[in-house]
Structures are given as C-alpha cells and as structure tokens.
Amino acid sequence: MNHSRRDFIHKLTASAVLLPLATPMISQATPYRPHQQGKTLRVALMGLGGYAQRVAEAMQSCQRAEITGLISGTPQKLEEWSGKYNVPKKNCYNYETFDAIKDNPEIDAVYIITPNALHHSQALRVAAAGKHVICEKPMALNAPEAREMVEACRNAGVHLLVGYRMRFEPNTLEIVRMRNDGELGKIMFFQGLSGFRIGDPNQWRLNKDLAGGGALMDIGVYSINGARYMVGEDPVWVTAQETKTEPGRFSEGVDETITFQFGFPSGATASCLSTYNMNYLDRFFLNGEKGFAELSPATGYGPIRGRTNHGPLEISHTTHQTVQMDEMAAIILDGKQPVLRVDGEDAVKDMVIVDAIYEACRTGRKQDLVYG
C-alpha cells in the first residue's frame, strides 16, 4: 500500500468515526452439501484486495450467496470488478458514499475485507444502513471496539458474522464431532502453531495504525480461535512472551513472534505460537486420554489434512470461502444454527484474549480472562 493510499484510508477512518498410521480412518463426517433451495444472500464486497479476490472467485460456486455490490476507494478496481462479476454500476460505491446502500434493495449484506483498523467504523456504518455485517477477522482492534460492533448490529436488527472459515471446514468439524462424542476422552492439551515469514515490508499488516499489532492480529488469531473450538471451552487464563529478533523489520507495536499459553476450566492447557518470521507453521494438535487429533495444515486455504490415533481422515476438499458464504447465507436467511458459532458475540471472546495476550507480554504476568 503506497503512502497516498494509506493517507486516504486514514482520512476515511477519521471521518467514519465521527507420525501417520497405516490404516486410513473411515470418516463419519457428512460431506459438504451446498444449500440449493431458498433465497439468495446478496452481498457487497468492501475492500477489493487480494483476499477479496479469493472470496469473489469462491462465490462463483455458491448456491445461496452472490455478489451484487462493490465498495472500494480505487475507481479502477470498481470498473474492473464490475465487469468481471457483472455488478451494475449503480451498486458500486466508494468509502465516502457507501452509506447509500441503505436505499439499495439489491444488497442484503456487506462483507468487510479491509485493514483491521477500519472494521469497527465500517461495521457501524453498515449496521446503520440496515444491512447485515460479515467482517473479516480480527473483527476489531480490541474488545471494546468489538463490543460496540455487536451492540450496533443488535440495535439495528442485523446479523454480525465474522469470517471464521475454518469453523465450517469438514476435517475440523469431524474432530469436533469426535471430541463431542467422547471418542478422544477427556481433553488434556492443545498445541497451535500459526506462522509464516512475511514479505513486503511496506504492506499494511506491518503498520500498527492499520493492523493494530503484528502476527498475533493476523495469523495468531487462528490459534486463539482454534484452541477454543478444538478444546471445546473458553480459556480462563493466559500467559505470553514476545520475542523480536529483527526490530528493523518489526517496529514498535508490531509483534514478530509471540508464544502464549492457556488454561481451561476443565484443567486442559494449551501452548501456542504466532509469528511473522518463520515458515511451515500451520498445525493444530489435540490430545485426549483416549486418543489424539491433528490438523496439518490446519488453517491454510486447502486442502486441510487431518489424522487421529485411528489414522488419516479421508474427507474431500471444498473451497473454504464457498462453504463459508453458503453457510452464512443459511444463518442469515434461514436462521440456521451452525455447529460452531461465527457470530459477533462469540468473536468478541477472541478480542478479549488478544488484549490479554498483549497485556501479559507487557507486564510478564498471568492474566485472568473475563468475557462479560
């Protein structure tokens, strides 16, 4: 992101605030079947960057969700995407004019895929326009912002969902089923490793004002969220330690590597790591008294690979964003209750944990977690 683009976004934000085993396991998971009946969720994509491109391509295979609007600060992108995805020009907006979606009956929801610092203000504006909010993770910069988003959407009578695509992923859901059915026994330990070596030093993810932090706010959220849905509980305490080996690349307030530990009500513990300076870190491991489950890769775009003490999980891959958007359509339009929640109230817990991790790093002290 160049300086003029970054300055433009800042101005917009300010104005808005006004060991595999030999025998394969026969999976009991039900393969993903798209919802083929009922209304279609009409979605405007906000922020037409790299991940939005992935979402847009995946949505071409959706049965219940379609792109009917576009929001961007770059006129050229609006022109290109409008033609590519057959979105009428009247449904294209910039960041200063998108409040007008209030009067557009062809848009039901807005998927916010912008830098982290913009999520809060943009979600409030979308809610005020009476449209459902789908927001990329992390949903906000901190827990207070996240709670304000939840309250605004509740008051407006609209849904607030967060783009936790892994909570719809079949290998993940199969392990959750096994845990719920007691096949792994009492859960004792979880390990989550999330990291990669980040590239372009000028990108917004390394700008504290736009990202709100560093690796923890990006890749680390996967291990935080994964610990919760794999163990099946919310942690009650956290300890954390920050390591910075390249202060020249990672400025003040932009974390390079953080290791963090959780304790759960049942007595289970977790050990996790998030980093922007090490590759090949995408693994979840869950240990129980009767067995184990592993995902490696655990959160990449796919295919996800799972195995347990019985052997590999043999589950076919479906594009995560396609599944996510069809399932979110069912949540919004049909009132479907997903196996794993993706609503804003549940996502606030991740922000409470993020805040506590940063405080634990700052103070060197264990932090008790209070979600209310």
- Is residue 368 over pLDDT 80? yes
Residue 222 appears among annotated catalytic residues: yes
Domains belonging to the chain, first-starting first, are 17-163 (3.40.50.720), 166-368 (3.30.360.10)
- Rounded-to-integer distance, Cα 80 and Cα 120, Å: 27
Average pLDDT, the chain: 92
Q: In what order do the strands lie in the sheet with 311-312?
A: 311-312, 306-308, 292-295, 281-288, 187-195, 269-275, 257-263, 237-243, 367-368
pLDDT at 7: 52
Q: How confident is the model at residue 32 (pLDDT cuts 50, 70, 90)?
A: very low
Q: How confident is the model at residue 372 (pLDDT cuts 50, 70, 90)?
A: confident
pLDDT at 49: 97
- Is residue 248 over pLDDT 60? yes
**CA 98 to centroid of chain Cα atoms:** 23
Q: In what order do the strands lie in the sheet with 160-162?
A: 92-93, 65-71, 41-46, 109-112, 132-135, 160-162
Give the DSSP per-residue string, 319-364.
-HHHHHHHHHHHHHHH----SS--BHHHHHHHHHHHHHHHHHHHH-
Could you count the other beta carbons within 10 Å of the beta carbon of residue 197? 12
Structural contact between residues 174 and 28, judged by C-beta atoms closer than 8 angstroms: yes
The 10s digit of each residue's pLDDT in 71-111 is: 999 999 999 999 999 999 999 999 999 999 999 999 999 99
Using CB atoms within 10 A of its CB, is residue 240 exposed (0-12), middle (13-18) or buried (19+)? buried
- Is residue 10 over pLDDT 70? no
Q: How confident is the model at residue 254 (pLDDT cuts 50, 70, 90)?
A: very high
The 10s digit of each residue's pLDDT in 130-188 is: 999 999 999 999 999 999 999 999 999 999 999 999 999 999 999 999 999 999 999 99
Selecting among 32, 93, 131, 137, the annotated active-site residue is: 137
Structural contact between residues 321 and 67, judged by C-beta atoms closer than 8 angstroms: no
Structural contact between residues 110 and 99, judged by C-beta atoms closer than 8 angstroms: no
Q: How confident is the model at residue 28 (pLDDT cuts 50, 70, 90)?
A: very low
pLDDT at 26: 35
Selecting among 32, 95, 111, 222, the annotated active-site residue is: 222
Residue 137 appears among annotated catalytic residues: yes
Question: Percentage of the chain surpassing pLDDT 70?
Answer: 90
In this structure, the chain runs to a length of 372
